[in-house]
Amino acid sequence: MGKATVIPFGPQHPVLPEPLHLDLVVEDETVIEAVPQIGFIHRGLEKLVETRDYNQFIYVAERICGICAFGHSMGYAETVEKLMGVEIPERAEYLRVIWHELSRVHSHVLWMGLAADAFGYESLFMHCWRLRERVLDIFEKTTGGRVIFSVVKVGGVVRDIDDAMFAEIKRVLEGIKDDYRQLCNAFLKDSSVKNRTVGVGVISHEDALAMSMVGPFARASNVNNDARCLGNGGYGKLADFQPVLDGQGDCYARVKVRALEVLQSIDIIEEMIAKIPAGDIVVDVKGSPAAGAEAANVVEQPRGECYYYARGNGSKYLERMRMRTPTSQNLAGMATALAGCDLADVNMIVLTIDPCISCTER
Amino acid sequence: MGSFKLGKMTFKSLFGKPETIQYPAEQKTPPPGLKGHVVNDVESCILCGICMKRCPCAAIEVDKPARTWSINRFRCVQCGTCVRECPKQCLTMEPTYTPPATEKRLDSYEVPEREKKAAAQEA
């Protein structure tokens, strides 16, 4: 055994899209312990709820994260709607699900590109991001924005999608599916990918449960945890929904779960487009949340379950808005997965939890 | 060989049309509905100030005595709240972005005085 050495990893590191610091205690080339540290990009967004009214805060909520921007605006709006007892039109629920699942597709494909970059497969990275651009183009045409959409409103959505655009979305998604299957073939069958991912950073089913892991990170350890199963909003209208699970718990299983979830999301979008009812997209919301009224909500973000809590104080400003994001749940699992791995595998393991530090710190 | 798993896609990329465009020589046509920048038709503006009150980032300033409507393009997040809330529908979201600027300044527009009669006829 060699002498234990502490190697700082991040917050500025080529593999990290966001600032996360890890103190890696290594002996020879093996990591003994990893101590994560966050706090580099705290912006105090939850506090802003005191100075922005409940309608204005939606634009703050969607700026919590650039990748799950739509999920945050939808989660916040649903929480305030619960708080005020507002029933939104059915068409708005369907539209929210369509945009949210498109966000999941672009988030997962982005992540797969980053993972390919981490294990040194540049052309695969380029192809992933090329496909993601097509999803961003759909967002640009339907919402007017590529990253921040500002289409959700307390009471519904502010933009509708017409039949011609739905036909175009279906056509684009069919094209994506065809190319995406070839990408999956590379991700799941390529020997160079398998060499870097199979058996790396294993988290057992028991550990995943004990550490309350969420999202694809937990589902790769066979934890049947998907907030979409609760059937909130438009998700309740799905004919059949079964989460994608895998029992291996290693980096390969995490890649596989996310890869299959993209195809599942495309199927959900197609089902929603086929079933979407005609009608209004927004209801008028008057008044303010009652003093002491509380509401909680759960949304399955691309990275996992995100919990929202809101409390009113009788004015148009909320008393408290709290979010518990998926990455804060998954950091403990990441530290466990890192213990005992090779130093060269650290970047792969860190990426496979898909860390979103700007969500975590807000 | 690992790369042959992507063989079909790679050959398509080699001989197909490029995915990117030669910016800035070639520019993408903005889709209708793109949130570019807010424009005020000052001829119809009544300086009611609702846009200023609703703006989540305090980007709009309405000065009724001076009859000016100003917007700080660097604060505006193109959420479209002002466009939806305007009672005279004089605000619109144009699908083009504003050109790059070298200094942060307020874009101020003078709202012309309208004769009461003309305003009444319009109403």
User: pLDDT per residue over B19-61, tens digit each?
Assistant: 888 888 888 888 888 998 999 988 888 889 899 999 998 899 9
Is A35 contained in some domain?
no
- Asked whether the beta carbons of A64 and A323 are under 8 A apart, the reply is yes
Question: Given CB atoms, is A182 within the 8 Å cutoff of chain B?
Answer: yes
Query: Which residues 45-74 of B have a C-beta within 8 angstroms of A?
Result: 54, 56-57
Chain A residues whose CB is inside 8 A of the B75 CB are: none
Per-residue pLDDT reduced to its tens digit, A259-274: 999 999 999 999 999 9
Number of structural domains found in chain B: 1
Tell me the nearest-neighbour CA distance from B105 into chain A, angstroms: 23
Tell me the nearest-neighbour CA distance from B75 into chain A, angstroms: 13
Q: Which residue of A has its CA nearest to B14?
A: A123
| Phi, psi dihedrals of residue B4, rounded to the nearest 5° | -70, -15
Tell me the CB-side half-sphere exposure of residue A140, using CA atoms within 13 A.
15
- Asked whether the beta carbons of A307 and A74 are under 8 A apart, the reply is no
- B9, B37, B83, B94: best to mutate for the A interface, most A CBs within 10 A: B9
Tell me the nearest-neighbour CA distance from B82 into chain A, angstroms: 12
Closest-CA residue to B36 (of B93, B107, B112, B80): B93
Is B14 contained in some domain?
no
Predicted pLDDT of residue B1: 47
Dihedral sign for Cα atoms in the order A45, A353, A254, A344: positive
Cβ distance B6 to A56 less than 8 Å, yes or no, reads: no
Number of structural domains found in chain A: 1
Q: How far is residue B118 CA from its own chain's centroid? A: 29
Predicted pLDDT of residue A1: 60
Q: How many helices (H) and strands (E) does chain B have?
A: 4, 5
Cβ distance B79 to A182 less than 8 Å, yes or no, reads: no
Domain that residue A232 falls in: 40-327
The CATH number of the domain holding residue A57 is 1.10.645.10
Is A354 contained in some domain?
no
Q: What is the bridge-based pairing of β-strands A304-312 and A294-301?
A: antiparallel
Question: Given CB atoms, is B77 within the 8 Å cutoff of chain A?
Answer: yes
The CATH number of the domain holding residue B34 is 3.30.70.3270
Is A68 contained in some domain?
yes
Q: Which residue of A has its CA nearest to B13?
A: A127
Per-residue pLDDT reduced to its tens digit, A215-242: 898 899 988 888 888 878 788 887 788 8
Tell me the nearest-neighbour CA distance from A344 into chain B, angstroms: 20
Is A2 contained in some domain?
no
Is A156 contained in some domain?
yes
Is A186 contained in some domain?
yes
Q: Which residues of B3-22 are buried (b: 16+ CB within 10 A; e: fewer)?
A: eebbeebeeebeeeeeeeee
pLDDT above 90 coverage of chain A, percent: 32
Is B46 contained in some domain?
yes
Q: Which residues of A142-158 are buried (b: 16+ CB within 10 A; e: fewer)?
A: bbbbbebbbbbbbbbbb
- What is the interface pTM, i.e. ipTM, of the complex? 0.82
Predicted pLDDT of residue B62: 92
Alpha-carbon Rg for chain A, nearest whole angstrom, is 21
Chain A residues whose CB is inside 8 A of the B93 CB are: 144
Q: Is A184 helix (H, G, I), strand (E, B) or coil?
A: helix
Question: Given CB atoms, is A183 within the 8 Å cutoff of chain B?
Answer: yes
Tell me the nearest-neighbour CA distance from A259 into chain B, angstroms: 16
Is A108 contained in some domain?
yes
Cβ distance B79 to A192 less than 8 Å, yes or no, reads: no
**Chain A with chain B: Cβ pairs closer than 8 A:** 63
Is A81 contained in some domain?
yes
| Distance from C-alpha of A51 to C-alpha of A13, rounded to nearest angstrom | 35
Is B34 contained in some domain?
yes
Any idea of the CA torsion for A285, A286, A290, A291, to the nearest 10 degrees?
120
Cβ distance A158 to B78 less than 8 Å, yes or no, reads: no
Per-residue pLDDT reduced to its tens digit, A39-90: 888 888 888 888 888 989 999 999 888 888 899 999 999 999 998 889 999 9
Is B4 contained in some domain?
no
Domain that residue B38 falls in: 29-122
| Distance from C-alpha of A148 to C-alpha of A162, rounded to nearest angstrom | 21
Whole-prediction pTM: 0.89
| Distance from C-alpha of A154 to C-alpha of A131, rounded to nearest angstrom | 32
Question: Given CB atoms, is A181 within the 8 Å cutoff of chain B?
Answer: no
